[in-house]
Amino acid sequence: MKVPISKEKAVYYYYKAYVPSGATLADLPADRTIQVCHFLKPIEEATVHKFFGLAGKIKQVHLGEYKNKANNKRKRRTVYFALVAYKAAEDCRRVLGDPKVLQALVNKVMRKSVKYSSNPFA
């Protein structure tokens, strides 16, 4: 998902379906949860509620970070993540099924707050 910050700058958040593996810290339903990743800075809970809350009501958010322990310095970066659990399963299915729906909602909100132009040459 692309979030325009200014006319020239944008931040990218990557999201996918949450697949629980082994022992987890929180008991989250897999059919209503998505995993959001960002590689540059920690994800803020307000940002998650602002943008991913456009798709539906959010029940809970868990934030965290993962440091890859690879020997290669390039692969040793920190991955910041958030687990977003929606109240309704159909909201989660809508986000995962058609990413253009969420992107259109984000563009609509950001068009009001940022000097955002759909034409990059304007």
The CATH number of whichever domain residue 50 belongs to comes to: 3.30.70.330
Residue 99: inside a domain: yes
Residue 121: inside a domain: no
- pLDDT tens, 39-79? 888 999 998 999 899 989 999 999 999 887 766 766 678 88
Residue 20, Cβ neighbours under 10 Å: how many? 13
Residue 116: inside a domain: no
The rounded distance, in Å, linking the Cα atoms of 4 and 52 is 15
Residue 117: inside a domain: no
What's the pTM? 0.79
Contact, 45 vs 36, CB < 8 A?
Answer: no
Displacement of CA 30 from its chain's centroid (Å): 16
Task: Tokens 């082994």: give the residue.
Answer: 22
The parent domain of residue 94 ranges over: 2-16+29-104
Q: Encoding tokens for residue 64? A: 């965290």
Closest listed residue to residue 36, CA positions, set 106, 120, 111:
106
The rounded distance, in Å, linking the Cα atoms of 63 and 45 is 8
Domain count, the chain: 1
111 phi/psi in degrees, rounded to 5: -60, -30
Residue 54: inside a domain: yes
Residue 45, pLDDT score? 92
Strands, E, within the chain: which ranges?
2-4, 10-12, 14-17, 33-38, 58-67, 78-86
Residue 122, pLDDT score? 45
Please give the share of the chain, as a percent, with pLDDT higher than 70.
Answer: 85
Residue 9: inside a domain: yes
